[in-house]
Chains A and B, each alone.
Chain A
Amino acid sequence: MSKATHNFFISSISDNNFEQCLKCSICTVYCPVSAVEPLFPGPKQAGPDGERYRLKNPRFTDDSLKLCLNCKRCEVACPHDVRIGDIIQRARLQNSKHKPGIRARLLASTDLVGKIATRLTPAFNTILSLKTTKEYKHRMLGIDRHFAFPTYARVTFEKWFEKNAAKKQSGFSQQVAYFHGCHVNYNDTAPGIAFVNVMNKLGFGVTLINDEKCCGNPFMANGMPQKALKLAFHNLNQLRLTSQQVPIVLTTSSTCTFTIRDEYNFVLGLDNHDVRDKISLATRFIYKKIEDGELILPPVKPDFKLRIAYHSACHMEKLGWSFYSSSLLRMIPGVQLIMLDSLCCGMAGTYGFKTENYRRSLKIGEPLFQAIREAEADVVVTDCEMCKQQIEAATGARVLHPIEVLAMALDD
């Protein structure tokens, strides 16, 4: 019925569509930074407008680009598919004159700091929470004294897995690989443990990626493209090796997923097409299996009741995957789901840690915090670990990952 193969969509000369910008300014309406910070020239100005000048001469690169959260809400709003956020990220990485300082290195080195910290917990957590430490971090490093630094796990997820789960995984006929991400490994292992339990209950064994390293996102955000590239190369290779044995790679972190699938290609310029489609969030994988009739949700605890406010993280919006997580939650009997308006929490990875950003970060998140207070839910659920950190600190609400909710609901 449809006419012969065609592709009538306007193709661009640039790979980020910057010449498709109509100057309509719709992106600025949805920029969470523009809403609170007059020093930020806004996504249109910082993105496609500024790019025209930067292409002529990189010295037109402006320091205010640093104020961008890389939330990509400008891209989601753009009627013409201009990759505004990517334009800004690349300009920052390619043209920045600043050398990353100690703080940037510390914040970005999730693996290194995580390895040291988990070995020293709980002493490390105590030290982090000391007033003098906070004061030192604030003055010497520029990590805001008000900020509740993520606590570190006593036992890393990888160690927990090795000790408690690894042996029985071969007993399952179907296998999935798991890219856990740094936060699950070093800070909050609960979503990772819940993931293994859920997958086992659904009949899947779990394999870890051999020698998984940080996805590199914090290095991109802190101006260290070479480090990010090195990690991206490493992870792509490891993912290729793993997927030869186990072709399905699942994740629980929306930002790691987004980084590997999209930022590796669009921001770092790596060819990841062979890996990209093998990686999926666990919620999306489970939802699709149920929808295709290949999986039936096992029985849920008979008295399970939970009023959930679902927060759609920025990178979930960009992926277009909030539908999967929220729909999967809706499938759980006893769940009452409230969809919060999709708004940025202001944390953006390591952005909200920094002294110069701390207040702005909270101001950005305020409309979301207000909505959470009004929702009067038992828990807030989100796919992003850093949103969790920010929402818990700002509202006192209990925040869970969707997979944790599923693990709680399933009958033993």
Chain B
Amino acid sequence: MKFNTIIIGGGLSGLTAGITLAEQGQRVAILATGQSRLHFTSGSLELLGYNPDGSVVTAPLQECESLPASHPYQVIGTQALRQFAPHAQELLAAAGIKVRGNAEANHYRISPLGIPKPAWLTLDDYITADSQLSFPFRRVLLVSIAGYIDFPIALLRHGLQQCGLECNVAEVRTPAIENLRTSQTEMRATNIARILSEQAAIDQLSVEINRAISGEEAILIPAVIGIADDNNLKYLRRMVTRPLFCVSTLPPAVTGVRLQTRLRKRFLNLGGTFMLGSTVRKANFSADRIASVTASNLPDQKLSADNFILATGSFMGNGLVATQDSIIEPIMNLDVDATQGRDSWTSPRLNDPQPYMEFGVHTDSSLHPAINGHIVPNLWAIGAVLSGHNPISLADSTGVDMITALFAANDIISHNI
């Protein structure tokens, strides 16, 4: 099998790169072990939420200038951030994902625990507040679904009240959802979303919600509708008597699955090849360049390409592996930025920024990784596998995913013309 570009990893960064390259007419394959971290994404994407000192970022495009030189945004140059942030939004729109927000100014999303957090882009149907943390309404009805285990209603209500909202709670039950409660452990967002993929079930839900409304100006519901698209959510919004918004839930997140589904569909429609269940175990070199890779489920198949992109993620995706005394990139043993000695990997306080989160593959300014100091010229590393960023303390993970992916894809295209 011969491709222009092979991307190892099928999450947000891999799909972003894959779509960009396929849009330019490249023959692209994405190889992925399994489904990705996108399934844990709530309704928002983050470019840069906090400064290294912990203060909230209001203007990401300006404040990224003060990031340390090792941060991926600085590695590729903050100009790239300005250039590609609007592209990311266009790419999502082309995949059928409508978002609000921009890179000039962060807005606030509401976390599943009710805490406002700075965000870059938020799915159109979610509750958000502007940069001053003000909402377009004051009195809201927070709807909970009886038996749903991943929606901490008291915390959420408390959080919304802290934000200045008056918040009433109503627990609703419908016959269709009650049936799911037979298996209490399976009362999760994605399972409820399966039930609510039928219009009759939405009808039942809208009746219950309308019955619960008294004087509130808006309705908030857990994001449990719309696994493949947002059609049923739109339908529900038409059926209820107040403006309705979603609140993100604990994973697996329905909107995360929708993001993954839409992006993958877009990639396939552009002619891309997506191979799930294919763990890349080995890269075969010809001199200093990668000639092909081998996947676990296709051991006798050489997967060749001109360009390769490493988008394997961090520790959770096995893009990085911690052994007893070292941090390793397991496919090619690429040079990694990590501190020596296991004791230095973690901070004693859980809520402090954890050093290991910044570990990752070291690259040059074009995102080419190296082996023993020798650059691999036809390999690009993108997304969470990169060193120098911290998805929790800086709230930059999805931004790093998409911006570095767009950077690498455009670099590949410009070299192949």
Contacts and interface: CB of A to CB of B under 8 A. Distances in A.
Given A28-B186, A40-B183, A79 B317 contact: yes
B361 to A, nearest CB: 13
B252 A317 contact: no
A211 interface: no
B39 interface: yes
A39 B182 contact: yes
A26 B39 contact: yes
Contact of A1 (B181, B288, B301): B288
A1 B371 contact: yes
B285 interface: yes
Interface string B280-291: 010101011000
B35 A28 contact: no
B274 to A, nearest CB: 10
B196 to A, nearest CB: 12
B68 interface: no
Given A42-B185, A81-B33, A320-B298, A8 B323 contact: yes
Interface residues of B, number: 56
A41 interface: yes
B277 A317 contact: yes
B34 A77 contact: yes
Contact of A81 (B251, B273, B279, B372): B279
B277 A41 contact: no
A36 B321 contact: no
Contacts of B321: 8-10
A56 interface: no
Nearest to A292: B302
Given A29-B190, A29-B252, A76 B277 contact: yes
B316 interface: yes
Which residue, of A75, A76, A317, A339, has the highest number of chain B Cβ atoms within 10 A?
A76
A45 B276 contact: no
A323 interface: yes
B131 to A, nearest CB: 33
Interface residues of A, number: 40
A320 B278 contact: yes
Interface string B313-330: 000111001010000101
B362 to A, nearest CB: 15
Nearest to B326: A8
A22 B37 CA distance: 12
Contacts of B300: 277
B71 interface: no
Interface in A45-90: 45, 75-81
Lowest 9 A-B CB distances belong to which pairs? A8-B330, A79-B34, A320-B297, A76-B277, A1-B285, A38-B182, A35-B194, A29-B190, A78-B34
Given A45-B186, A320-B295, 20 more contacts: A2-B285, A2-B371, A3-B333, A9-B330, A24-B39, A25-B190, A28-B252, A29-B35, A35-B191, A38-B180, A38-B183, A39-B182, A41-B183, A77-B276, A80-B318, A277-B300, A288-B301, A320-B297, A320-B298, A339-B268
